[in-house]
């Protein structure tokens, strides 16, 4: 009961947070935004998984292939990184960053001749002098290959906005349309007040459209942290916009339902408890004052 109360308190506090972007039924834009933040965090393994998912949705998205290349390059999987950059180039033969990524992959793998060849191919296709400059730097021994080949901070913001189909709101008018809010809390990390750390918040309208969402790191900052889907998921349901909830669900780390609270206004009317396998284990009813009925 104490654990549930703490989660309830965390979620009640979270309700006051103004948020922006992310998942649910994930789109390619949402996944690219998340993958970009994983790259910025240096979490290359999760970046690869996320960009793979984006490509499964949109296999013609050059940015997703660049992210997959950068992620695999960070993992030192040069074959997979090279294949991703090759795909980006095949989709757009004038994509300069794709040639640079491919060249850097060859350099990390110790094949300078191949790096010079792909840069020369890139210059022939694009006439972009930056590729010739890199060739000169490689020959002079002054070039340093990079793991990241896009402005991932800008891409994060761009695809974040595309995912919600609107610019970040300057006001809180979207609150009036909220029918469901989903919060993800990390049960392995607590803040200074002893509350579980929020990892992600999402807000939906009655049609299921994502209105706003936000990712948080272990310090409470807005990023996409490692293991973002880990921990407890809490879902709040509302009627008539942001106000008193009608129902609140808590899920375990294994994804099974743990608890459901039903509300009438600001008072609980019933609580259902579930075991580790998601089977109903017990029910508590409350009187009109919100006190448990024996």
- Spell out the residues 6+ positions from residue 280 whose beta carbon is closer than 8 angstroms to its own: 272, 273, 274
Count of helix runs (H) and strand runs (E) in the chain: 9, 9
Residue pLDDT, tens place only, 124-182: 999 999 999 999 999 999 999 999 999 888 888 777 766 554 444 444 565 677 888 88
Is it the case that residue 24 has pLDDT exceeding 60? no
Nearest 10 degrees: Cα torsion 66, 71, 74, 78:
-70
Is the pTM above the cut of 0.75?
A: no
- What is the location of CATH 1.25.40.10 in the chain? 28-157
- 1.10.260.40, 1.10.10.10, 3.10.150.10, 1.25.40.10: which CATH number matches 28-157? 1.25.40.10
Longest CA–CA separation in the chain, Å:
82
Cβ contact 245:263 at 8 Å: yes
Higher pLDDT, 109 or 38: 109
Q: What is the DSSP letter of 154?
A: H
The answer for residues whose C-beta is within 8 angstroms of residue 241's C-beta and 6 or more apart is: 175, 176, 177, 178
Radius of gyration of the chain (CA): 24
Buried b (16+ CB within 10 A) or exposed e, 111-148: eeebbbebbebbbebbeeeebeebbeebeeeebebebb
User: What is each CA distance from 8 to 160, 235, 246, 271, in whole angstroms?
Assistant: 28, 11, 14, 12
Question: Which secondary structure element, helix H or strand E, spans residue 59, and what is its range?
Answer: none
**pLDDT for residue 196:** 65
Q: How far apart are the first and last CA of the chain?
A: 16
Q: 17 pLDDT exceeds 60?
A: no
pLDDT greater than 90 at residue 14: no
Check residue 166 and give its pLDDT: 42
Q: What is the pLDDT of residues 70-102, one digit of tens each?
A: 999 999 999 999 999 999 999 999 999 999 999
Q: Average pLDDT in the 216-231 region?
A: 48
Question: In what helix (H) or strand (E) does residue 260 lie, and over which residues does it extend?
Answer: strand 257-264
**Between 25 and 258, whose confidence is greater?**
258
Averaged confidence pLDDT in the chain: 78
């Amino acid at each position: 009961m104490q654990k549930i109360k703490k989660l309830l308190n965390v979620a009640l506090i979270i309700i006051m947070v103004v948020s922006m972007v992310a998942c649910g039924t994930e789109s390619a834009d949402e996944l690219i935004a998340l993958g970009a933040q994983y790259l910025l965090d240096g979490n290359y393994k999760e970046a690869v998984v996320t960009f793979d998912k984006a490509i499964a949705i949109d296999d013609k998205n050059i940015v997703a292939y660049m992210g997959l290349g950068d992620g695999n390059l960070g993992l030192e999987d040069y074959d997979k990184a090279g294949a991703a950059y090759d795909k980006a180039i095949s989709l757009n033969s004038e994509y300069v960053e794709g040639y640079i990524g491919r060249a850097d992959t060859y350099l990390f793998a110790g094949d300078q001749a191949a790096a010079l060849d792909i840069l020369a191919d890139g210059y022939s296709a694009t006439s972009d002098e930056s590729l010739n400059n890199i060739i000169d730097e490689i020959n002079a021994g002054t070039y340093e290959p990079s793991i990241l080949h896009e402005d991932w901070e800008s891409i994060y913001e761009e695809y974040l906005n595309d995912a919600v189909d609107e610019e970040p709101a300057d006001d809180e008018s979207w609150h009036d349309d909220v029918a469901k809010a989903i919060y993800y809390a990390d049960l392995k990390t607590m803040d200074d007040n002893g509350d579980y750390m929020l990892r992600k918040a999402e807000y939906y309208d009655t049609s299921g459209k994502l209105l706003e969402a936000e990712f948080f790191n272990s310090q409470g900052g807005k990023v996409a942290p490692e293991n973002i889907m880990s921990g407890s998921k809490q879902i709040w349901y509302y009627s008539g916009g942001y106000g008193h909830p009608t129902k609140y669900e808590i899920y375990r780390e294994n994804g099974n339902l743990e608890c459901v609270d039903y509300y009438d206004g600001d008072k609980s009317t019933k609580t259902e408890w579930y075991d580790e396998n998601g089977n109903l284990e017990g029910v508590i009813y409350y009187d009109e004052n919100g006190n448990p009925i024996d």
